[in-house]
Structures are given as C-alpha cells and as structure tokens.
Amino acid sequence: MGDAGKRIVVLGSGPGGYVAAIRAAQRGADVTVVEKGLVGGVCLNRGCIPTKTLIAGVDVLTKARSGDIYGFTVTGEVTPNWAYMQARKEEVVTQLRNGIHTLFKKSKVKLISGNARLSEPGVVMVDTVSTDAAVSQDAHALESIPRHEAAPAQKAGAAANIADVLRLEADAVIVATGSDPLHPAFFDFSQPSIIDSTELLNIESIPSSLLILGGGPIGCEFACLFADLGTKVTIVELMPQLLPQEDARAAKQFQSALRKSGVEVLVRTRLERVDEYAPDHVTVALEDGRTLTAEKMLIGVGRQPNTAGIGLEAVGVAMDERGYVIVNEHLETSVPGIYAIGDVTGGYLQAHVASHEGIVAVDNILGGRRERNLRFVPICLYGRPEIARIGLTEDEARDEGFRPVTGTFRFGALGRALALGESRGYVQLVVDHDSDKLLGAVMMGPHVTDVIHEVAVALEAGMSARRLGEIMHAHPTISEAVMEAAQDVYGESVHVAG
C-alpha cells in the first residue's frame, strides 16, 4: 500500500485533530475522525473562541462607557445584555463548527460520534453515539465507514445512547484528545458555587462577585472580562506575581492594570480551606487568617490530559506521572504507528501548537521524517491590555549564555495607539549582543497578539535586529513599534527621546 492510501484514525477533532485529518485527506489518505463531543474540541467550543467573542463584546462596552475620550456622549447607562452576549458567542461558535463539518465533507473525512478506545495497536473500537446533534447535521458522518473496515462488533443495548460498537483498523492512529480543566479533590465541584472555566463561560447570569483561584492566563482573562461586566473580582495566586510564566515586567504592568480596573489581586497567597459551601456563595480562609466570600469561585489551577479510558495503557503507550503521553520530536509514541499531538502530550497547551503538531504527525505518517518546531511559539494573553511574547525573554537569554541587549518602544509615542486611545503598552526586542541576532520579543498593548507574528517570521528567518529596523513599516500602525524597538537596540530610533 502506498503512503497516499494509508488508513488513518484520528481520536479527537480539536485544533490538532481536525487539522491533521484534513491535511491527511489532502494528501490522499483514508481518514476517519472519532469525536465524543462537538467538533472543534475545547478551543472552539469551550475555550479560545467563546472567550474571545465575549471579550470582544466587553471591549465595545468599555469603549461606549468611555465615549467622552473619543468626543461623543452616550445618553443613559450602558449595560451588558448577558443573554445576548451568550447568544452571539454561540452563533460564532456554531458558524465555525459548521465550517469544520463542511471541510470534512469536502475532504471526504469520515466522522464518527462516539467514545474510542485502542484495543490493540492499529485497532480502534468505538461505542458510537446515536444522538449527537452535531453529527446528525452531516449525512456523511457514517456513510463511508466500510472503507475503513469498520463493522458492528456487537449491539450495546444496555446503554440508551450507544448505537453500535464499531471496529476500525488503521495503519496509523493519531491521539488528539486534548485536555480538560483540572478538578482538585480539595474542592467539591458538585456545589453550585464552585465552577471551572467551562461552567463560567456558560453561566446563566453575571455573578455579583467572583473569586478566582489561579493567576495564569485563564484566570487573568476571566478577571478582565468579568470586572468590566461589573463583577467584584478577587484573584488569588500562590506565586509572587500573576502570570508566573510571563516576563516579569509585563506581568507587573498587567497586574497594575488589573488593580486599576477594580480587581483585588492577592499574590504570594495560599488558600487554606473552604469554610462554607452555600447555594449562593462560598467562603474560604486564607493562610494569613483572612476570609473571602464570593457568589462563585473559579478554580483555574491548570488542566489535565484526556488520556483515561482510551486504551493507551492496554496497548503499551508510555505516559508520564501526570498522564501526558510521551512523544519524541516526530510525535511518535512508544508504540509504532501511534502518534500523539496537542494538549495530550503536555508542554505548550496551545491550539496553534496542536495544529502544527497535527501537520507534522501526518507528514511523518505519510513517509516524512519531520520534527516539530517549538523554538518560536507565540504566547498570547487576551486581557486588558493584551500581552504577547515569543522566543527568549531577557532573563531567559542570559540564563542560556547569551549577552542580551534590548530595544524598547513605548506606545505613548506611537501615533496609532494614541489615536485608538490606548497608549498603555510597549514592544521590547531581545537581541544577542555578539551576533546581532534577534532572540525574542515581549509586547503589551492593543493588537499585540496580531503584531507578534511579525517577530515570529523574523525569528524563523534568522533576521538581525538591524535588518528588522531597516524594513519600511506603514504609518500609522501598531506594527511600527517593532521597527522602532529594533532601531532602539542601537540608539537609533528617532522617536525615542534621549
């Protein structure tokens, strides 16, 4: 059998799984995707897209409330319509989800709704679900299963939502089952006051108060969102700063911005116990003796891989102590023919990393020998303000033996930022003193989650800071700050005083 005719089964249809499936189909492979929930995975249905849609709505709300800055007056109080915001969020998600179904159909990717488990290398058993609305929208979902040598193995009449058990034989399996919010046993998640990020996204009404445990990206984005909606927000973080993985300067400025927006920020703070669970509130005690009460408490202390119950142990796939699948740089697991991509492998829990790994895994299944490239991964926070970084920070560069120098341009001197009324921010480039090579960047301010990709291209191209500073940039744009920061490395930015 040639590589183009290989049978590939993908477990999961998130940003790693669906991209891998479509790429494999484009290359001529015979592809089946097994999805137990909604197509698109966490990112589309319960993560990236829903949160950014709500944040976009709140951005408009915030600007309307600040109309005097832009020269207009809003008559009456500007208030959020949460039900409509939720409806718009669902419209956006549904449109994108339907788009994936259309891409599957066009690419002849077969989709099965059900729970998959590996019974042996190259064999996937699927308890098919007969009531998945997402699959029922697509007539192609089950129509071509015989091509994948799938046949009903038995009837599972004991479970009302199980139609058949199918056996899929594959030349390669890609595990792309993603991750879910971590539920520490310390908390009783059966209580209505204790929620995770998925539940908060779909909450019926805006809470009057919200206690957030965990100052990582998820906690900080929700803090910005609900503070702007009028919720009294408190965020508790054990480490010395919010966003512990971020550049210290950016984290400090973001923390200051949160406080200015009314968020109570408690760092170096440990939660000792839960004193009271109630239908309408939760009360917790901190290690220093203080108590906090809130209507809802978001537990945002991490994520856990979806590796349980899919047969990985049974076929000998190696995992670490936390349950993440161990892979090499080719995305191969310890079992030949089984690959794993995205959150399920740990490391960067980013949708774009999963998509990149999905393409690399498919290339390798179809005869390549390609390594994933995680040298320059854009990391973005969609708060107020936005933060974006890539490559090495100044401290990381020093730790790796470089002699770093930096160039910085602040948005207070940036025409586009001033026109937008958002002059809080900067771009900092990190450069190797000896070679003049660009090493990384940290940005804060409006639209930096888009601008960061200019630096991504420069890093991949091995560009020097001087060359980056010589490239003409349109005026007025936020991207000009990258050029100015590159020039500032040599003290040559004409818009930096002294």
- 34, β-bridge pairs: 11, 112
When the candidates are 3.40.50.620, 3.50.50.60, 3.40.1640.10, 3.30.1490.190, the CATH number that belongs to 3-44+92-179+304-365 is 3.50.50.60
pLDDT band for position 164 (cuts 50, 70, 90): confident
pLDDT band for position 3 (cuts 50, 70, 90): low
Cis peptide before 476 (omega within 30 of 0): yes
Give this prediction's pTM. Answer: 0.90
**Least confident segment among 146-150, 193-197, 309-313, 421-425:** 146-150
Q: Where are the domains of the chain?
A: 3-44+92-179+304-365, 183-301, 385-488
Residues near 166 by beta carbon (within 8 Å), at least 6 away in sequence: 112, 114, 125, 126, 128, 145, 150, 151, 152, 153
Check if 475 is active-site: yes
Please tell me which residue in 140, 183, 330, 475 is annotated as part of the active site.
Answer: 475
3-state SS track over 75-109: CCCCCCCHHHHHHHHHHHHHHHHHHHHHHHHHHCC
Q: In CATH terms, are 183-301 and 385-488 the same topology? A: no
- Please say whether the structural domain 183-301 has been given the CATH code 3.50.50.60: yes
Picking from 221, 220, 263, the residue whose alpha carbon sits closest to that of residue 239 is 220
What is the residue type of 375? Answer: R
Output the CATH code of domain 385-488: 3.30.390.30
Residue 76 has pLDDT above 60, yes or no: yes
pLDDT of residue 75: 83
> CA distances (Å), 393 to each of 218, 387, 448, in order?
21, 13, 16
370 contacts 358 by C-beta, under 8 angstroms? no
What is the residue type of 303? Answer: R
pLDDT for 108-150, tens place per residue? Answer: 999 999 999 999 999 999 998 743 333 434 433 443 343 333 4
pLDDT for 253-276, tens place per residue? Answer: 999 999 999 999 999 999 999 999
pLDDT for 82-93, tens place per residue? Answer: 999 999 999 999
Picking from 166, 154, 178, 159, the residue whose alpha carbon sits closest to that of residue 119 is 166
Cis peptide before 385 (omega within 30 of 0): yes
In 170-290, beta strands by DSSP E: 172-175, 179-181, 194-195, 209-213, 232-236, 264-266, 271-278, 281-286
Residue 320 has pLDDT above 70, yes or no: yes
pLDDT for 165-206, tens place per residue? Answer: 999 999 999 999 999 999 999 999 999 999 999 999 999 999
pLDDT of residue 74: 81
